Chain A
């Protein structure tokens, strides 16, 4: 039976890429703590730009005192982002795309 034997699992990453561009070549192990900023920065950017999504998400939480606090916070956050600009930029991008769609 043809199969992918255990040895092949060592080469999974190379199965996703061509050898000439494989960035594992010469790559050094990097401590995980140095990669945390990627997760934190990505989350912050999403919070800044997509206050609308956050507001909608908390709005769908089942009713409870905690949810009510979160809903109020979500609305406040969206309002703040709209006033500061990122929220408006998000809306403008959405509107431009929907205009193109409607043509």
Chain B
């Protein structure tokens, strides 16, 4: 069930009506929201609801095991067992085919004829997100950030809560579980901010991301050899805007939908293309993943505590694994490696020059350079495969073919997608502040008009969100 569809709208209106009606009966409300979340997930493939349930049962048991353990060693054993179980499940569904295919290639190159049989494994949607969420729960309990929950219902709702279930933000137990312990807040603020975020997200996804994908990006990346340098450059810029508008739209709609149900999620994007350094980019892009990688991977493997060389190695490892998290393909490894090495070099340069500003130069220049470095990474991220990414990069320098794809709409959407990074960072809040002062009915009418306008301008049919594949 995709967010910008009538299916979801009807589902959400029913959920909202029942959840609001049950606001004084908290246990029933949580039970209903959990059931609705399983229906939402089962809409895609009901068989994987058992995977979600099994995953939840596992972390519930591990949480209690950590809580009951008497020695530090036993706690550690319980925590690592939980983490290992989740990683094995994720590894099987996500990386089995990749590793077997890579191993077969290695065997062939070594002259061995026999191959390990490969069978197709269906990737459960959202598995990367709910696995990381589960690991954060286990490690937060282990590190005594939160106590292990005794309420299976609370944990089941935390794991399955439908706004964030399939594509994040990766909401941490320490952020979400305390909200389940009290009566949910649904105030006028929640309604006006939630509606604003949903409408803004629908606009970014249905108009900006979808048209850029169909009219420009898909064409360029499908057959890069057919187009000249200018079209390829527009395609790369277009993808930078598309992936931002697509993914941040999902996050906005998720945050907005949760807010209408009385729960708050942390911000997941903060105008990433205005970053003047790579480290700043990662503080603004997919914040819930980058902070997860920092707290549960980079810091535990040593962070910057073991000297400069280990810091650079740790940064590279973290980003490499971050790349691999996105998918089992060498192009994602390359994307992660580019960012990892980029962050390490940036840190090395800033240490050597002992400067407080960006190592990329004066701020406006730094923003342009960092944006183009990020675009280079996006080429590997979007291309069909590694070889195709290299074709795009080579083609960027061939300006003999006249442009075919530079339509006014594509150019306007790229410009809009970039300009929105340089508007006041609280623009959505300013719009929301207008909403908030309206009578409730007027708020609903304005929201209805805005959604209808997005629907009128949007493409027929709903394109899936890019991050659904991860």
Q: Which residues of A contact B (CB under 8 A)?
A: 1-6, 8-9, 12-13, 15-18, 21-24, 27, 29-30, 32, 34-46, 49-50, 53-54, 56-57, 90, 93-94, 97, 100-101, 103
Contact = CB atoms under 8 A, between A and B. Distances in A.
A101 B229 CA distance: 23
A94 B456 CA distance: 5
13 contacts: A3-B172, A8-B175, A9-B176, A9-B264, A13-B264, A16-B255, A18-B425, A23-B189, A27-B189, A29-B187, A32-B186, A39-B16, A101-B409
A17 B433 CA distance: 11
Q: 8 closest pairs, A vs B, by CB?
A: A45-B448, A41-B444, A12-B264, A42-B444, A38-B444, A49-B452, A37-B441, A42-B448
B457 A3 contact: no
Majority secondary structure of chain B interface residues (helix, strand, loop or mixed): helix
Contacts of B195: 38, 42
Contacts of A41: 440-445, 448
Contacts of A1: 139, 143, 145, 295, 299-300
Interface in B198-224: 211, 215
A24 B439 CA distance: 17
Nearest to B444: A41
Interface string B421-451: 0000110011011001001111111011101
Contacts of B455: 50, 53, 90
B189 A38 contact: no
Interface of B: 6-7, 9-10, 13, 16-17, 20, 23, 139-140, 143, 145-146, 172, 174-179, 186-189, 191-193, 195, 211, 215, 255, 264-267, 294-295, 299-300, 407-409, 425-426, 429-430, 432-433, 436, 439-445, 447-449, 451-453, 455-457
Contacts of A49: 448-449, 452, 456
B266 A15 contact: yes
Nearest to B437: A23
A49 B454 CA distance: 12
Which residue, of A24, A36, A101, A103, has the highest number of chain B Cβ atoms within 10 A?
A: A101
Contacts of A17: 193, 426, 429, 432
B426 A18 contact: yes
Contacts of A4: 172, 174-175, 266
Given A5-B174, A45-B449, A97 B188 contact: no
B451 A35 contact: no
B452 A90 contact: yes
Contact of A37 (B7, B192, B433, B440): B440
A103 B191 contact: no
B429 A97 contact: no
Contact of A12 (B9, B265, B294): B265
B423 to A, nearest CB: 13
A42 B211 contact: no
B23 A101 contact: no
A23 B145 CA distance: 30
B409 A9 contact: no
Contacts of A34: 188, 440
B426 A21 contact: yes
Nearest to A91: B456
A88 to B, nearest CB: 12
A5 B295 CA distance: 12
Contacts of A37: 439-441, 444
A8 B430 CA distance: 24
Which residue, of A1, A4, A37, A94, has the highest number of chain B Cβ atoms within 10 A?
A: A1
